[in-house]
Each structure stands twice: as C-alpha cells, then as structure tokens.
Structure 1
Amino acid sequence: MAELNFKAIEEKWQKRWLEEKAFEPKANEKPKEKKFYITVAFPYLSGHLHVGHARTYTIPDVIARFKRMQGYNVLFPMAWHITGAPIVGIAERIKHRDPKTIHIYRDVYKVPEDILWKFEDPKEIVKYFMKAARETFIRAGFSVDWTREFHTTSLFPPFSKFIEWQFWTLKDKGLVVKGAHRVRWDPVVGTPLGDHDIMEGEDVQILDYVIIKFILEEDGEEIYMPAATLRPETVYGVTNMWLNPEATYVKAKVKRGEKVETWIISKEAAYKLSFQDREIEVLEEFKGERLIGRYVRNPVTGDEVIILPAEFVDPDNATGVVMSVPAHAPFDHVALEDLKKETEILLKYDIDPRVLEEISYISLIKLEGYGDFPAVEEAERLGVKSQKDVEKLEEATKNIYKAEYHKGVFKIEPYAGKSVQEAKDLIAKELLESGRAEIMYEFAEKPVISRFGNQAVIKIIHDQWFIDYGNPEWKEKAREALAEMTIYPESRRAQFEAVIDWLDKKACARKVGLGTPLPWDPDWVIESLSDSTIYMAYYTISRHMNRLREEGRLDPEKLTREFFDYLFLEEFSEEREKELEEKTGIPAETIHEMKEEFEYWYPLDWRCSAKDLIPNHLTFFIFNHTAIFRKEHWPKGIAVNGFGTLEGTKMSKSKGNVLNFIDAIEENGADVVRLYIMGLAEHDSDFDWRRKEVGKLRRQVERFYELVSEFATYEAEETELKDIDKWMLHRLNKAIEGATQALEEFRTRTAVQWAFYSVLNDLRWYMRRTEGRDDAAKRYVLRKLAEVWVRLMAPFTPHISEELWEKLGGEGFVSLAKWPEPVPEWWNETIEAEEEFVKALIEDIKEIIRVAKIEDAKRAYVYTAPEWKWRVVEVVAEKRDFKSAMAELMKDPEMRKHGKEISKLIQRLIKERAFDVKRINEEKALREAKDFMEKELGIEIIINPEEDKGGKKKAAMPLKPAVFVE
C-alpha cells in the first residue's frame, strides 16, 4: 500500500468540520445534565507552541471528543493570552537588535525577515502569533468552538470591560487592597514581575534573611557588619565571622525611616538593599581582605570573634557577611579545619595559627542520636574530607538543619528546654524588636532574569495594588471549593491545599506592559496572572459578543458593571433585560440568550493545565470563582498534566532545543503526534519526545489504517462463531471498557494502551489463530472490530478515523458518532481464560525445548490436571485457610483417597495466594487449539495419553499442565 498522505486527509476533514460547524454547541441543545464544559489555560503568545504545549492542549481535546461521542453537549472554546510585560520586552530587544532574541525569532521560530522587523511593535508580535496559534490548533484537529475566540487586554474592548467588572467586584468585597509588599522587580524597566514575566528562575523562592548586626569598633565609632542567616537562634554559637577577601565591600550610611547607621556589607548587598526601604549612601569601597584578622562583637553574647578569610562567601548572596557556627553548620566546621592547614594564608593576614586552634565550638542544641557537635559528627559520618566535598557537605547540612529544626531542643538560657522551632521564632522576634537585627529579602537561587533580559531584585513596593489572597475568610471558601472538586491526579490535592495556606497578597497591577487598565487607577495595568482567572465565564457569552461586534452593534463603553452583574450574578428577569437593552443597545432577547448560555454551561466541569500553574493560576482560579460567583457556579474539577522534554533534554528556545508543535505535525501528521503524546505519560508525569519512536508509531498508525480499510469491505452478517471468534469479540469488549474508564479519569496513556495497542495486539493474535480461514464468521468479527476500533481511536486520531468511518459507510462524522459500549453477549471470561491457557502452554513448551536443548523435538505429551485437584483449588479459593479447606475436602470419601497430596497442595496454594483461579475445560481448549499449536511449535501435540511419559502426569496442576517433550 502507498504511503499514507496524512496531510491530505487532515485538510479534508478540518475543512468539513469548519464548514459544517461540527463543534459549535448551542445552549439547551441537550438537557443540563448532559452538558460538558471543559477549558484549558489559554496560551501566552510570545512565540510558537512547542510539543511540550501540545500535550497540555491535546488532553482536553481528547476528553472533549470522547464526551461528545458519549452524547454530551460539549463546549471546548479557545482564546489567546497577550497580557503582560514579556511581549513588550521582546519588542524592545528586537528594536535594539539583541542577537539572542533575533536568533530565537528568526532561526528557531522561523519568522520571515520582513515580518520580524515589524516586531518592534508588540501588537505585530501578537497579531502574528495569534494567527499562527489558531492555524496550529486547527492543524492539530482540535475540536474548538471558534465562534467564542477572543484575546486579552484593552486591544479587545469587550473582554477588557469584563476584566474591569471582575476587579470592581473584588474591590467592593475588600479583596483588592493597596499597600506595601515585597515583589520581584526589574530594576531597569522599573516594574514588578509576575511568574509569567520571568525568563529564568520563575520558581525561585524569596527567603526572609535575618541580618544580625555584629559590631566593629573603628576610630571610636560603632560600625555594623550585618551577617545574614536563616537560623537566627544559632547566633549564640558564633565562633568567628567569614568574609571573602577578594570581594568588594562598602562602608555605607544606611537610612531606614529616621534611623541612620553605618554598615559594612558587600557592594552587591548595598545595591539590593536600596530597593528594600533603605536609603544607601556609599562612603567608600574596599576589598574584604582589609578586615581579615579584625574582631567584631556578637550583639547577643558580647563575645569578641575574629574575621577569617573564606573564598566560599558569595558577595551576591544576602549581605556577603557570614557568621560561623561550626558546632551546628557542617560547612563552617570543615572550613575551619581546612583553614587550620593553610598556614600561609593565616600568616598573610597576620593571624597567629594558634588563634584557630583555640577556637572552642559552642553546643546549642540537644539532638537525639548526636553528641554536643552534630555538624562535626555528620561530616565525619558522610566521609567529608574538605570543602571540595560539596555534595556531601550539602547533604550533611540538609540532614542536620532538618533534624535540629524538627527534633532539636535548645540548650541556652533563657530559651533552654524549648524546641528549636519555638526558640528560633522567639530569638528572631527579640532581635528584630530590639533593633539588633533586620530583615533582608533574597532569592534562594540565582539568577532570576526577567523577560526584558535584566537581573531581577526584590523590592518593597508602596502604594501597590494587591489581590489579598491572605484574607482568612476567602481562604476558607477556597478550601471549601477545593474539597468538593475532583483533582486529577488526586495526589496533587495536598499541593493545592498548601498553596491556599501560604498564598498572601499578590501584586495584581504594574506600570508597563499590555493589559487592561485598573478601572479606578488607570495608571496601573492589570497583570497577566490576574486577568486570567475567571475568563471561562466570558467564553459562555463570547459567541454573542463576537457576533454583535462583527455586525457593528456593540459599543464596549456601554458594557457596564450592572450588565455583567445581571449575566453572572442575578436571577433571570425580563424587566432587567429590557432595562439593559436601553442602556447597552444590545437586544433584550440577546441578553436573555447570553444569560441562558452562562446558566447552562456553568459550573465549569473541567479546567486543564500543566503542573507548574498550581502555585499561581490554578489556585487563583479557585479563589476568584469563590469570591465572585454563587456556590452552584464554583468549578467542579481540575486536571493537571506534566511537562515534555526533547530527546531527553529540557526544551530551551535560547539553545535551539525546541520542536515547534506545527513542525511536528508537518513532519509526522497530526494524528501520529496526538497519539504519541497521549500514549507517553499519565496525568502529571513528564514525557520525552523521541523522533525515532514517533517514526515507529507512524508505521503502526498506517497499519491501523490499512487493516480497517480492508475490514471495511467485509459484510457484517451474523453467523455461528468459533471460540476464537468469541475470544476476539470479548477482548474488544475489554478494550471498550478499559478505554472508557481511563478517559473518564483523564488517564490518556492507559486509554491509548486499551484503544490502540491492546486491540492491535489482540488482532495480531486472532489473525495468527485464524490463519487460512476465510469464512463468514471471521469476516463478521473483523467488520465488527473495525466499526468499534475506529470509534475508540476517534478522540486520538480524529482525521484518519473520519476517513475510515466514511469507508465503513458510517453516518455523519465519527467525531459525533456514538461511543462504543460493551456488547453484553460478547462477554465471555471463560473463553478468554482458555485462550490465555493455550498461549501460556505454547510458551512453556518453547521454554522446555530451549532449556533442555532438544534440537529435533518431534512431539509434546500434555497432561491436564485431574478433577480432584480442581476441587482442591476451588475449596481453597473459598476458605482461604488450611484448616477449613482440609476439613471441607475430607468430608468427601473420594477426596480422602488423596489426603496426603491434598494437604501439600493446600499449603502450596495458600502460600502462593492462588485464590482467583478460574475453572476452565482444559482438555476442550487444547483439543480446539491442537492444530494451531502444532503449527506454531512445529511438533505433534498429544493430549492426555494413557501412557505416563517421563512420569510427568502427577505434576499436572490446574492451568499448569504437565509436559513431556521428545
């Protein structure tokens, strides 16, 4: 058969679907209980979608197609997200001819040169990638209702008005507030950064360092050297300070409020602190080596401790000043031990080596299983030899910090006897209130780079607008909603619960970027993660909005708050609809239809997205729905999926390691791409795109097409069936049941296993078992298989399935055909068990021949289990206990003849837990399959002869015949 022209088939059916509006549902087409509303996070359009995105968008399409075939009225809409700073940042970088950006857009995204230079205008970027994304979605065969398409920002006024309504509603409830808060900040552009505004380091945590002000006496003046720590309780155990002799430090006036102090900190720290409510005036710069060998005073204990050199101190981490607690910090202990051996370094800074020898470790924490100095013991346990053993030191640090925090008891007064957790909080509170310490915010890891290409800092913003996710009443509603939702996979529920707990105020507006202006303060623009939380409600009315807009009958300025209040919050009212007609110019009848659509489609049944959106978008989605809508409109479920890698490597635009979704379709065909991605991973597990494997699958899909095309020519006249025919139909029932159950739970990998691979493998076996047969029964089975198989595959490979459905003479689109259900009369567990028995025996005989090295085997003698053994198996399955089973069997005089053997057999069956052995007629199964077995094995099969060849007969067990080969 000629190579299949996937593209021609795809274009044919995509055109027909669009022409016949196959996926445009209307409200009330089916009863409310038969509606199914599924959405997926709309894509952010700063570039082409890649194969990682393909999984996120294919999952809901597969589910939507499946539910349509189950008879549901399905709404699966799509829109485009263009809010935020990233697109503006790209335009800026293209304007300034940034080579990296040019490379990505010209070489990776293949944007034509004449269009690329238009990208200096962010609107041109948006226009280009919206068109490309829509084309990709159509080419992928996504069953989207395109009548509801829209995009975010003030560039699309109707949706912008909806967002204004959302924010007014939140503000009226006291959930949008103004205040000061720490945010990630682009210091060059001057804007807060949301998760989607970060190019590198988007998951990096912000840490609250306690910076403790150690005191340096200089010319009669007290100068502070603030040492940053995440463990303020260990200040009682400081033996020395660490500075990097090669790093640049500054002496600076630090003003905070009315208080002015002189600090010594790294140059980098001075810059970062200038964003955190402090005025910094640098008085001088110098290398750290200037202070090595000097002494500073511990502000808590009053101890004088020496400053020692340490190249491991990172001047860009917190203050660049580190306090050393060797009893409880493995790095400090090992650094001191290493330095003791570096006499030359000590002499360079005029430090008497005896000073280090005289340093006494201070034990602060009692920890079960350790002595006074846990850090020392843990480093020795892991075999740490020097600071070069970084991995071991990190492991030791993690082990000690975790153990001390959760199980440690503090030993120093006035906190002796308290848990480390309690002591830590009390000591930090006392240090901060007394002014001996302050808080500095720092990223847990570096670098954090904005999409403008700049290194981010943490800034305290005043007069910033926030959504107050910390509001306790609101949190309680979010918890209530989550408790009633279905989460796939269920294991992600705990993460949602944790996010709801720790979420606090979230900056919701910025001064730059695309978006909707904050309605009461239009100098601010609503940011991207804040305008994308309830747009699923807008989809329900967007079909009407788009039609009115196209007809020139929509004035967005008249879309007032009361218009949206009526549609989404109030009860039906003819009077209100007439009032709103007067105010908006929208016919009352259309307003009524909009409200009908919302009330019909809501609540949203499923929200789909990738797992990285749990800490933000997906949880905000829950919060915002509970704040704005009535409880009966709260969402019902969230399905979370994992990420994708390319040939085992994380995809990266900058490294060119990206496969665009559209390119994958061009190369392999949409159906192959869809099936491959759906079959690779389940729920939130990740998948790896392997080109070689995709090629193999393409050939299997072509084989599927060939087989069904052939079977479509057969007549489906019912006739008397042989057992193997019944087996095939039974297995088809199993595939229907397995695929259906898996799709109900969004387990696409399992669904593909049942719908494609299981049927393919069973069909191969059936064709082997029936080789040489060309009768009515076989043709009937294969025709029935084709009719079922093409429908099972339709959600995954819709284009080929449509083509095959047409060949089969199916009515209408297979996309709208009835999903197959198991046929009651096809079920036959006994025949399946018999066939498995035959398969297993063939493999056993092959194994005997291989192990015994019988090169010219002529025949196999097969002995099935006697009736009494089957009786033992059945009684053991019922009683599951030696004593009970033995008592029951010994009631039968015939069974008592085999008493000793029965005792051993019961013990064996209980040990092997063989409780679900299904009885079959072994001899009948073997006699019916005898010709096939002889053909498969190339030897004669003799079943239950009188002669006991090789004394094997007594070894026969139920479902495990005894075999002698000669």
Structure 2
Amino acid sequence: MVDWKAVEEKWQKKWSEEKVFEPQIDERPKFFITVAFPYLSGHLHVGHARTYTIPDVIARFKRMQGYNVLFPMGWHITGSPIVGIAERIKNRDPKTIWIYKDVYKVPEDILWTFEDPKNIVKYFMKTARETFEKAGFSVDWTREFHTTNLFPPFSKFIEWQFLTLKEKGLVVRGTHRVRWDPVVGTALGDHDIMEGEDVQILEYILIKFILEENGEEVYLPAATLRPETVYGVTNMWLNPEATYVKAKVDGETWIISKEAAYKLSFQDKEIEVIEEFKGEKLIGKWVKNPVTGDEVIIFPAAFVDPDNATGVVMSVPSHAPFDHVALEDLKKNTELLLKYDIDPRILEEIAYVSLVELEGYGEFPAVEEVEKLGVKDQKDEEKLEQATKNIYKAEFHKGVFKIEPYKGKPVREVKELIAKDMKEKGIADVMHEFAEKNVISRFGNRAVIKILHDQWFIDYGNPEWKEKAREALANMTIYPESRRNQFEAVIEWLDKKACARKVGLGTPLPWDKEWVIESLSDSTIYMAYYTISRAINKHGIKEEQLIPEVFDYIFLEERSEEKERELSEKTGIPKEVLREMKEEFEYWYPLDWRCSAKDLIPNHLTFFIFNHVAIFRKEHWPKGIAVNGFGTLEGTKMSKSKGNVLNFIDAIEENGADVVRLYIMGLAEHDSDFDWRRAEVGKLKKQLERFYELISEFAQYEEKDVELMDIDKWLLHRLNKAIQESTKALEEFRTRTAVQWAFYNIQNDLKWYLRRTEGRDDEAKRSTLRKLAEIWVRLMAPFTPHIAEELWEKLGGEGFVSLAKWPEPREEWWNETIELEENHIKALIEDIKEIIKVAKLEDAKRAYIYTAEEWKWKVAQVVAEKRDFKASMSEIMKDPEMRKRGKEVSKLIQKLIKDRAFDFKRIDEEKALKQAKDFIESEIGLEIIINPDEDKGGKKRQAMPMKPAVFIE
C-alpha cells in the first residue's frame, strides 16, 4: 500500500527546493492567473477548495503547454469581521467560542489570544498557507503579502490607488444610505455582514394620512412600494397588539411603530417620542387620504408587522390580493368587529376603486387573481404571495393608469410621478428598509440603514467611468459566457459605494486618516502589486520609500532611465530594482485570468473591472474572468454556525490532496454548484489507487515500433480524443469535462481494452500500454500532481511532470473507422445479450450474424448525403442494378429517412466481427457464425448497415 501522505510531502518539498513555481522573466509567452485571495477569519472549507483549486489546475495545465506561468497568492484581512470576532471572544460569546474551538479546532491556549485581532490574522494566515501547500498549489510564495497597514508596503500601494482615484474625481464625499451596525457605530460592506449579505434595500414612500386629534393634525405615514395605488385606498390597517408611538418627526407629529421610530432615527430624522400605546387605541378611528380627501377607517390586522417599515399599512383591495382577502376574512370575524365596536355595515359598504387598465383582467385584478389561484383565506400565504407577484409585475410592465391627471400613462411612469408630486407637496416622505429583517453584522448585531453625511464614496455611478467599464467587459472573455449579462446589469445599477469605515483593520485614507479603507475597496487592483511584490520582499524596500511617484512610474509611465535615476535619488531604491519592478509589471500585465465564485459578481469582480479601467492604460486592462459555483456538504448548505462544515485541511488529511482535488474538479462545471459526499470520495480514492497500480505496472514495459492490431490502434485513437477534449475543456475552464476525459473515459477505455486483449501478452500490447501510461500521467498532472510526479519518476520521465510537455494528439493515431468498428462490436454484444434475456434463450448454443448486403450500404450512403426521399430515389435509380430492386430500395430509403440515419460512415462490418470473433464468443457464451450461406429464420434480409441481423438457436 502506498503512503500517499509521504508521496505528497516528498514532492511538495522537491517543488519548493527546486523553486519550480517561482517564474522569472524569459522569452516564453506569459500566463498570469489570480484568484480572489481568501478572507482569513477562519479555516477554508471544501467549498473554498473549489475556488482555489480551479486556477491551480489551469496554471499547471498552461505551464505544461509551455507558458511562463505566474500564480501568486496573498491574504485578505481588511475590515470589521476579524475585529468583531475578537470582540465576541473577549466577551466569551458561547457560539463564537464553539465555532473556533470545535468547528475550527483552534487549540485553547491559542484561542484566548484571539482577543487581539492581530493574533487571529497571524494564526489563520499560517494555517491557510499550510493548507495551500498541502493541497499542492503551484503558488509563487515569493510574492506573498497581506492587506492593511500591518503590511506597510501594500498599504502604500493602496494609498497610491486612492490618491489616483481621488485625483480623477472618482472618490467623492457626500450623503448616502449605508448598512450600519448601530452598536459598534460603523458602516457595513458586503464582507462585514454575517447574515443577509444579499438582502436588498427598499425605498418605501410614506404617505401621510391625516388623523384629526383634539384639533391637531397627526400623521399616520403609510409605507408603500406602490405610491400610485393611493387613489384606491379603502381603509387603513394597524396591528392592535403592536406598540406604536406618537412622536415629533422633524417638527411634525407622526404615529408609527416603536421599531420604525428607532430605524428612522438613523435616516436623517429628528425623532422625539411623546407617548407609547398599543395599536388597539386607534382601531375604528377615521383618517383622511391626503391625495383624494376621502375619509377611511382603521381596521385591526394581526398581519401588520410593526418591524416592517412604519407598521402603518394602507389597504387597496382592488389591486392588492392580501388586502382583498383580509377584508373578506374580517367580514366573517364578527367577534373581532364587536370587540372594536365596528359596524359590520361599514365593511359591506366598502367600494373598490379600479385604478389600472390591464389586458386580460377586468376592473379589479386582485380579486380575479385570488379567485384564479383558489385562495381561501389569509392562511394561504404561498398562493397570496404568488398572486401579489403576478399582479404587481403585470401592472408595472403592462398596466395603464385610469385616474386623472395621470390617465393614459403607463403604471411604471405614474409610480415615479405620483411619488415625486406627493413629496413636493409635503404629503409624502421616504424610508429605507431591508427587504428581509435579519441582516446581521459580523459583530453579531442587527444592522439598520443609516443616512451618512461626509462619508467617502467611490463614484461607480460616473457615466464616463461606466462606459469604459462596458468597453473593457466587451473585450473580455467571461466563463461561463452566460454570466456576461449579470456583469452588464451590475455595471448599470452600480452607484456610489461607501469605501471607508471608522473601525476595523485596513489602510487609512491618505488624506483623512480617521477613515479606514474597507475590504471591498482595497482588493480591486492588487493583482498589479503581485508583479512587484517579489522585488519589494526580496530587497526589503521600506514603506517610506514607496512614494506615489514610484507607483506612477511602474504602472502608468513609459520606461525611462532618467526617471529611474531621479526616483532612486529621491527614495533610495536602487535604480536596478526600480527597473526590475517596471520590467516585471510590463511583462506580466495585463492579467490573463481572474477567478472567483459567482457571489462576487455584484461587488468585487465588477469593482475589479472598474478600478482597472480607471487607473491603467488600455493595454493593461484585464483579459478574462472565470466564475465558479458553491459547494454543499452531503446535500446541505455549509454553515459554520451549525457545525455543518468540512475544513479544506481536514478533507486533505482524511483523503489525501489529490483525491480532494480530483473529486471537486470532477463534480461541477463553471458556476454550477457541487455536493461533497464522503461515500463518493471514498470510491474515487480506490479508483486513484487502481490508477497508480496500473501505471506502475505499465512503467515496466517498453515502447517499441511494432505492428499493432486494430484494438491497439483503437486505444491510441481514443487516447487522442482524450487529449483533444480535455485540452479544449481546460482552455475553457470546464474542469468537470476535462476530468471526465482525462480520467474516467481513459479508465473506461482501458478496462475495455484489457477485456478485449485478455490472454494477449505481446510487444504490441505492452508498447500500447506504455504509450498510454506516459500520456495518461501527464493528462492527470494538473488534477493529481503528487501522484503524477511519483508515477512520472517510475516511468523514467525527465525532470518534473509539472514541467513536462502537455500531450498533443498524434496525427497517425487518428482512426475514426476503427472506433466505429469497436462501437459496432460493443453494440452487437449488448444486442445479443438483450435477445437472450428477453427471449429466455439461456440454453442457446450459437448465434448467426448477418451483415447488410452491399446494395444497402450504397443506399445508406446516398440518403446520408441527400437527406430527402425524392432526391435519394432519383440518384439511386440511375444505377440499373438498383432499379431491379425498386420496391426494396424505396422501402429502405423511407426507413432511413424516418430514422434520420444521416450520420453515415462506412465500415467493414464483416472484417471487424471476424477479427473480434473469439472475444464476442467469450462475452456472450455462444458460438458465433458470421454470414453463413444458410438464411436462418429468414433473418438475413433484416440486416441493415451498422445493425446486423441475429438468429440464436
């Protein structure tokens, strides 16, 4: 039994000693690939393994193709999450302690040092690098760095980036809504969110319905996403059990839920709570619609969520399915009406108002949709949600408004117009709210939406900048191509994005040091830093030497000895080192491929495009982005908070690096997701062990120039196909297809070959297997590099297989005819087995096989070319011999056209079957007789090209 761990350690050590993956500038074509560096708040899991293994496989593949490959790695530690973890550990939060102690298996003596966020960073940087090394990643570690001012050289690079953006007017100060942690007091970026990262921020219009109270006007601001429906309000809804407040809001008196008052206090509102009370106090009172002047009653509604918007809801039953059903339910609830002293006749007299003309619907679309979906009451929540979506979508896109002064306009226009008019008249306001409640920061606190003043933003809404981003995207390769539309959409909707925080790790804004640049803003062009990081690390360049002019020269200007001399005098950096950095950047840029998971398209990957086009010359814009999907564990989404996580390092320790690599590469294509199943991993481990045994055996054979049999030629032809298809798949980042061809298909073909050649032990077979071994090992090298290196050594291969030449198909091995003949043999064996099974002929002794007569092959050839009855008949009838078979020919043409038998290639059926006669007999357990003179059972005439007739007795 092979000690796989020892094999892995052996080759990892050799790669490191020989500096195999530390490329120098040379004459070869370059290939520069990067992946989003990991955020180090914990161990990487097997979902991350997919993201990081893909670029390594591609890097190894391109290296073997003769490219000078740079695949570097750094570490991301910017932002508030790590600070939040330290805070929770300091406060002995049980859930956090459990995650780090039991899920991440951090030793207890180390765990308590995590009260200092720097110790979290140090620990997980060390373990992440160990994981990557044990996974066999071909990383150039001489370029390693990490973010924040804890690594000053990179921090100076980020300062330069932001000074450049500010100079171009792309970093601005202003007012904007942000996600906010109200306890810590900081804005939250995507990576600062523990739950609800993708939750949308909605803009509610608050329509101020008027309640006359002791001669004073009090406003009940009803929150709506459809302000145009204010013309159809029949009543208001309040939750009688919820707590509401009367409060002074910017000088006006409002009644809103207690939760709303808290949220609005973050949204530029001066709030002074006057009193608290239960909603039941207002049930049965009447309020005035500020737009129509109608008086409408307040009804009780347990479905009103005080924690959603203002807790005040207007009812539009003609166009809102929930409102219609709630009114119908209330009509039946006599007890509730009596409780609040509401006259049932009020409900009966409510008249629905038709606002929208919509094709396919009558006056009240909500009523019709509810009936159509069979909604019985408010408990049919799923159907009600569907009804609401159907109506809102249809009315927004196809509806025409019916009420003056907006009559005849599309609903999508009216919506904005009415909101604007109401705001200008002071009868409406705005509130921002999350589409879902639980948006939780990594500090463990529930987020709110805050309006920030004097916040620093990157202005992704700049139209000229957007145009350049579109141009860059249009010239990039995107895998999968289907994601291009998403990139285009993100470029469209991106606007100002807060780029700095008051807390967390990071690089201070160079012109405003109290702000720290956040994690999604300091990780957009660091790929350029990789090109110079080796020189900075090697020569010990200090932060004070890295003034902005140094970066300007390296990244933006033409080469100049004079400039290098001037900068050397100014900074103390030797001019040779400045030249080295300049040459490295010019050689490696532009970046060929950026790899990451699909969840980073709406942020990091699109920011990456924007920042490159803002700063670099067009010839240095990135060339491609490859997007991958996520991973689940045994069919369930991975969650460290639930303990449902398999750490990448644990998967390697348990199964071996090559097993893990091959398994996750073979499971999914591009952005599709994969599911890690331990049982399947175990099966693959055994298959890899068998692969090792086979190659070790074949390594003893010699490749000789001997005459090959057809089955030997078949295997070499199939090997050519495996080379061709796996190469094509890897060029397009289709790892699953590549694994299918490079491993499974060859494995299956070899099994068939060994079956077909059982009992043979000749030079031709041994030579064929030796050829296969040398190619198979190289095809597997990107996926299973440790095993491949060990086997390459056994084969006597020169140097490292990691640097060996990638196989190319050999022209002399192509033989489509032999493949067709072999497929023919396989199909015949399966057909005969099926006949025996269905006809229950287990005691049969022999099988008679009849191949198609020559005239049938000629007909099939013409039909394949003409693909039409009349044209085929016309052509064939030119032959006098064929004219004698008029009816037979006609029937055969009809059958071939009906079966669409157009993929015609001629083979010598009889020769193929006779060569394989012994094998066919051994497979089916019968004597076979090929094309006997005697027509057994009248089967002979049934034979078709590629479909012999069979009679069994």
Q: Work out whether the TM-score is over 0.5.
A: yes
The match for 2:560 among 570, 573, 592 is: 573
What corresponds to 1:6 in structure 2?
4
**What RMSD over aligned residues (CA atoms) do the two structures have, in Å?**
0.7
TM-superposed deviation, 1:30? 2.6
In 1, Cα distance between the equivalents of 2:837 and 2:506?
A: 71
1:788 partnered with 2:775: yes
What corresponds to 1:498 in structure 2?
489
In 1, Cα distance between the equivalents of 2:844 and 2:414?
A: 80
Task: Indicate conservation of the 8 Å contact 1:731/1:762, yes or no.
Answer: yes
1:771 partnered with 2:758: yes
What corresponds to 1:136 in structure 2?
131
In 2, Cα distance between the equivalents of 1:449 and 1:294?
A: 38
- 1:264-283 alignment to 2 at 5 Å? 264-283=255-274
- State the SS of the aligned residue for 1:162: helix
TM-superposed deviation, 1:901? 2.0
In 2, Cα distance between the equivalents of 1:958 and 1:584?
A: 81
The match for 2:893 among 878, 895, 906 is: 906
Amino acid paired to 1:743 = L
- State the SS of the aligned residue for 2:625: strand
- 1:422-501 alignment to 2 at 5 Å? 422-501=413-492
TM-superposed deviation, 1:904? 2.2
Task: Indicate conservation of the 8 Å contact 1:555/1:584, yes or no.
Answer: no
- Which consecutive residues of structure 2, in runs of 5 or more, have no partner in the other structure? none
TM-superposed deviation, 1:435? 1.1
TM-superposed deviation, 1:885? 1.0
TM-superposed deviation, 1:22? 0.4
Task: Indicate conservation of the 8 Å contact 1:212/1:227, yes or no.
Answer: yes
What corresponds to 1:681 in structure 2?
668
1:43 partnered with 2:30: no
1:412 partnered with 2:403: yes
Q: Over residues 609-634 of structure 1, what are the superposed CA-to-partner deviations in whole Å (9 max), with x where a residue is unaligned?
A: 00000000000000000000000000
Q: Over residues 162-185 of structure 1, what are the superposed CA-to-partner deviations in whole Å (9 max), with x where a residue is unaligned?
A: 000000000000000000000000
- 1:748-759 alignment to 2 at 5 Å? 748-759=735-746
Moved more, 915-924 or 832-841: 915-924
In 2, Cα distance between the equivalents of 1:588 and 1:115?
A: 44
What corresponds to 2:840 in structure 1?
853
TM-superposed deviation, 1:548? 1.6
What corresponds to 1:865 in structure 2?
852
In 2, Cα distance between the equivalents of 1:261 and 1:399?
A: 37
TM-superposed deviation, 1:910? 2.1
In 1, Cα distance between the equivalents of 2:129 and 2:93?
A: 28
- 1:639-788 alignment to 2 at 5 Å? 639-788=626-775
TM-superposed deviation, 1:909? 2.0
In 1, Cα distance between the equivalents of 2:157 and 2:886?
A: 82
TM-superposed deviation, 1:537? 0.2
Q: Over residues 825-846 of structure 1, what are the superposed CA-to-partner deviations in whole Å (9 max), with x where a residue is unaligned?
A: 0100000000000000000011
Moved more, 422-431 or 701-710: 422-431
TM-superposed deviation, 1:878? 1.1
- State the SS of the aligned residue for 1:425: helix
In 2, Cα distance between the equivalents of 1:337 and 1:868?
A: 78
Q: Over residues 875-917 of structure 1, what are the superposed CA-to-partner deviations in whole Å (9 max), with x where a residue is unaligned?
A: 1111122111111000001111222122222222223222112
In 1, Cα distance between the equivalents of 2:466 and 2:686?
A: 52
1:629 partnered with 2:624: no
What corresponds to 2:828 in structure 1?
841
- State the SS of the aligned residue for 2:775: helix
In 2, Cα distance between the equivalents of 1:78 and 1:882?
A: 63
Amino acid paired to 1:143 = S
1:421 partnered with 2:418: no
Task: Indicate conservation of the 8 Å contact 1:411/1:417, yes or no.
Answer: yes
Task: Indicate conservation of the 8 Å contact 1:499/1:619, yes or no.
Answer: yes
The match for 1:520 among 511, 526, 534 is: 511
What corresponds to 1:184 in structure 2?
179
1:224 partnered with 2:219: yes
1:293 partnered with 2:284: yes
- State the SS of the aligned residue for 1:79: coil
1:201 partnered with 2:196: yes
In 2, Cα distance between the equivalents of 1:464 and 1:452?
A: 21
- State the SS of the aligned residue for 1:523: strand
- Which consecutive residues of structure 1, in runs of 5 or more, have no partner in the other structure? none
Amino acid paired to 2:472 = A
TM-superposed deviation, 1:361? 1.0
Task: Indicate conservation of the 8 Å contact 1:865/1:961, yes or no.
Answer: yes
In 1, Cα distance between the equivalents of 2:451 and 2:928?
A: 84
In 2, Cα distance between the equivalents of 1:905 and 1:615?
A: 58
What corresponds to 1:359 in structure 2?
350
The match for 1:880 among 867, 890, 901 is: 867
Amino acid paired to 1:46 = S
1:19 partnered with 2:14: no
What corresponds to 1:947 in structure 2?
934
TM-superposed deviation, 1:583? 1.5
Q: Over residues 175-207 of structure 1, what are the superposed CA-to-partner deviations in whole Å (9 max), with x where a residue is unaligned?
A: 000000000000000000000000000000000
- State the SS of the aligned residue for 1:464: strand
Q: Over residues 903-941 of structure 1, what are the superposed CA-to-partner deviations in whole Å (9 max), with x where a residue is unaligned?
A: 222222223222112110000010001100000000011
In 1, Cα distance between the equivalents of 2:434 and 2:568?
A: 53
The match for 2:53 among 53, 58, 76 is: 58
- State the SS of the aligned residue for 2:509: coil
What corresponds to 1:211 in structure 2?
206
What corresponds to 1:75 in structure 2?
70
TM-superposed deviation, 1:853? 1.4
1:239 partnered with 2:226: no
TM-superposed deviation, 1:567? 0.2
1:397 partnered with 2:388: yes
Instruction: Give the TM-score of the pair, scaled to structure 2.
Output: 1.00
Amino acid paired to 2:242 = A
TM-superposed deviation, 1:403? 0.8
TM-superposed deviation, 1:873? 1.1
In 1, Cα distance between the equivalents of 2:412 and 2:757?
A: 72
The alignment of Structure 1 onto Structure 2 pairs a total of residues equal to: 953
1:103 partnered with 2:98: yes
TM-superposed deviation, 1:558? 2.1
TM-superposed deviation, 1:855? 2.2
Amino acid paired to 1:30 = E
In 2, Cα distance between the equivalents of 1:287 and 1:721?
A: 92
- State the SS of the aligned residue for 1:795: coil
TM-superposed deviation, 1:381? 0.9
Q: Over residues 555-586 of structure 1, what are the superposed CA-to-partner deviations in whole Å (9 max), with x where a residue is unaligned?
A: 21121111000000000000111111112211
1:613 partnered with 2:638: no
Task: Indicate conservation of the 8 Å contact 2:175/2:453, yes or no.
Answer: yes
1:815 partnered with 2:802: yes
What corresponds to 2:27 in structure 1?
30
Task: Indicate conservation of the 8 Å contact 1:30/1:72, yes or no.
Answer: no
In 1, Cα distance between the equivalents of 2:580 and 2:451?
A: 47
TM-superposed deviation, 1:337? 0.8
In 1, Cα distance between the equivalents of 2:305 and 2:847?
A: 76
Q: Over residues 419-470 of structure 1, what are the superposed CA-to-partner deviations in whole Å (9 max), with x where a residue is unaligned?
A: 1111111111111111111111000112000000000000000000000000
Task: Indicate conservation of the 8 Å contact 2:545/2:573, yes or no.
Answer: no
- 1:89-168 alignment to 2 at 5 Å? 89-168=84-163
TM-superposed deviation, 1:357? 1.2
In 1, Cα distance between the equivalents of 2:343 and 2:886?
A: 90
Amino acid paired to 2:315 = S
The match for 1:804 among 758, 781, 791 is: 791
In 1, Cα distance between the equivalents of 2:807 and 2:832?
A: 38
- State the SS of the aligned residue for 1:312: coil
